[in-house]
Amino acid sequence: MAVVGQVLQSEWTKIKSVRSTVWTLGLALVVTVALGALISAFTRSNFKEMPLSERVNFDPTFTSFAGMGLGQLAMIVFGVLVVSNEYSTGMIRTSLAAVPQRATFLFSKITVATFTAFVIAMVTSFVSFFVGQAMLGSHRTSIGDAHVLRAVIGGGLYMTLIAVFSMGVAAMLRSPMLSLGILMPFFFIISSILGAVKATKKVAQYLPDQAGHKVMQVVTVGDDAPYGPWGGFAIMVLWVVVALAGGYAVLKRHDA
């Protein structure tokens, strides 16, 4: 246990001493809150011009999370950098020489990074909610209303899992450029296209981001997904587990 504690401390030192990882977490918070507030304010000012169906099924909670699409970009970068920075600098050789138990090394890194991402993600989700509701004015909801607290907590969990999934992918690919080159198009282009095309929409519902989004929604009228909020969250967790298992398999079988 003493060895594990030392490795955890070492990984925490790595995270807080690398400016790029600290900045990406700060950026995730700022852009998510700012964009969510901006879209919430825009929605309030244009609410009367919205189609009747959109007004009837309006989800003020999910509206305040409108910035998470951009905020998850920073969380992806954080997850990739935490794992792959050592490969790009060559420090991975030193790290594995100091901690030859590769399972201990990888999962200590993942544990510290996940906890860090979780704290920032939860703060981001709650701040986004309260700021967004303030911007919505009379169209706002309350944290005490049915399912709202679940959605706000779910927003923090979603952002955390996005970061952890990125860590697993980065552990498999061992390259920051390659990891980002796959994750960015996947989440911001491919997933959206598959979800918009009728022939692939049912398949897209099981992608990690689309399944994970369900836990942040309160109003689900017209949603034809075959699972509920926590069902979608469970699907996302499975994606994360597979990514981490793949990352460990690559680390175990390949030299640094």
Residue 149's pLDDT is: 97
What rounded mean pLDDT belongs to the chain? 91
- Look up the domain containing 109 and give its range: 18-253
What tokens appear for 193 in the block?
Answer: 């296209």
User: Is the pLDDT assigned to residue 83 strictly greater than 60?
Assistant: yes
The answer to whether residues 215 and 121 touch, using CB atoms and an 8 Å cutoff, is no
User: Is the pLDDT assigned to residue 44 strictly greater than 50?
Assistant: yes
User: Is the pLDDT assigned to residue 2 strictly greater than 60?
Assistant: no
SS3 194: helix
Q: Is residue 31 part of a domain?
A: yes
Q: Is residue 73 part of a domain?
A: yes
Highest mean pLDDT among 6-20, 83-97, 199-213, 232-246: 232-246
Q: Is residue 61 part of a domain?
A: yes
Residue 19: which pLDDT band, with cuts at 50, 70 and 90? confident
The number of folded domains in the chain is 1
Per-residue pLDDT, averaged over 48-65, amounts to 89
Closest residue by Cα to residue 131 from 30, 43, 40, 26: 40
User: Is the pLDDT assigned to residue 1 strictly greater than 70?
Assistant: no
How far apart, in Å, are the Cα atoms of 107 and each of 94, 226, 233, 234?
A: 17, 33, 22, 21
Per-residue pLDDT, averaged over 242-250, amounts to 95
Residue 25: which pLDDT band, with cuts at 50, 70 and 90? very high
Provide long-range contacts, Cβ within 8 A and 24+ apart, for 198-205.
none
Residue 250: which pLDDT band, with cuts at 50, 70 and 90? very high
The answer to whether residues 149 and 122 touch, using CB atoms and an 8 Å cutoff, is no
User: Is the pLDDT assigned to residue 9 strictly greater than 70?
Assistant: yes
84 by Cβ neighbours in 10 Å (0-12 / 13-18 / 19+) ranks as buried
Tell me, yes or no, if the pTM score tops 0.75: yes
Per-residue pLDDT, averaged over 25-39, amounts to 95
User: What does the DSSP assignment read for 75-144?
Assistant: HHHHHHHHHHHHHHHTHHHHHHHH---HHHHHHHHHHHHHHHHHHHHHHHHHHHHHHHHHHHGGG---TT
Q: Is residue 112 part of a domain?
A: yes
Q: CA torsion sign, 120 to 124 to 130 to 131? A: positive
Q: Is residue 165 part of a domain?
A: yes
Residue 194: which pLDDT band, with cuts at 50, 70 and 90? very high
User: Is the pLDDT assigned to residue 213 strictly greater than 70?
Assistant: yes
What tokens appear for 190 in the block?
Answer: 């491919």
Q: Which value, to the nearest 10 degrees, does the dihedral of the CA atoms of residues 13, 175, 203, 190 take?
A: 110
User: Is the pLDDT assigned to residue 221 strictly greater than 80?
Assistant: no
- The rounded Cα 196 to chain-centroid distance in angstroms is 21
- Cα separation, 65 vs 78, in Å, equals 20
Q: Is residue 155 part of a domain?
A: yes
Q: Is residue 8 part of a domain?
A: no
